[in-house]
C-alpha cells in the first residue's frame, strides 16, 4: 500500500505483532509527526488508531498535526477499502512505505 507523501516527510511500516503494525511518519524539520496503529482483532475486524506526536497546545504539535492528519486519514481510508492490506508476518519486516 502506498500513499503520496509531501516533501520532507518519510514513513515506515513496522510490525508490532503478527496481527498489528505501526506506520511512523517523520518530517525532516519537525521530527516525528505521528503514528498510525493497525490492529486486527480475532473477530476479523480491525482497529486503526492515529496519534499525533507532541503535547496538546504546543505550537510544534499543531504544526505536526497540520501535516500528519491528512496523511493519517488517507492511510486509514486506504486500509478500510483494501481487504488484503494485511499480509503474513514474513512480508511485514521493516517494509518501507513509498
Q: Greater confidence, 59 or 93? A: 59
| CATH code, 9-82 | 3.30.310
| pLDDT at site 18 | 87
User: SS3 breakdown of the chain: % helix, strand, coil, rounded to 5?
Assistant: 25, 35, 40
Label residue 10 by pLDDT band (50, 70, 90): very high
Among 8-12, 36-40, 72-76, 91-95, the minimum mean pLDDT is found in 91-95
Selection from 66, 67, 59 nearest residue 8 by Cα: 67
The rounded distance, in Å, linking the Cα atoms of 8 and 5 is 8
pLDDT per residue as tens digits for the range 63-77: 999 999 999 888 888
| pLDDT at site 11 | 92
User: Domain residue spans in the chain?
Assistant: 9-82
| pLDDT at site 62 | 96
Rg (CA), the chain: 14
Q: What percentage of the chain reaches a pLDDT higher than 90?
A: 47
Give the predicted TM-score (pTM) of the model. 0.75
Torsion of CA 79, 20, 91, 81, to 10 degrees: -10
Amino acid at each position: 500500500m502506498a500513499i503520496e507523501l509531501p516533501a520532507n516527510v518519510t514513513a515506515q511500516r513496522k510490525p508490532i505483532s503478527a496481527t498489528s503494525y505501526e506506520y511512523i511518519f517523520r518530517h525532516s524539520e519537525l521530527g516525528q509527526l505521528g503514528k498510525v496503529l493497525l490492529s486486527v482483532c480475532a473477530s476479523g475486524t480491525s482497529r486503526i488508531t492515529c496519534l499525533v506526536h507532541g503535547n496538546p497546545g504546543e505550537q510544534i504539535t499543531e504544526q505536526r498535526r497540520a501535516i500528519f492528519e491528512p496523511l493519517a486519514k488517507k492511510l486509514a481510508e486506504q486500509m478500510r477499502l483494501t481487504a488484503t492490506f494485511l499480509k503474513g508476518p514474513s512480508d511485514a519486516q521493516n517494509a518501507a512505505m513509498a
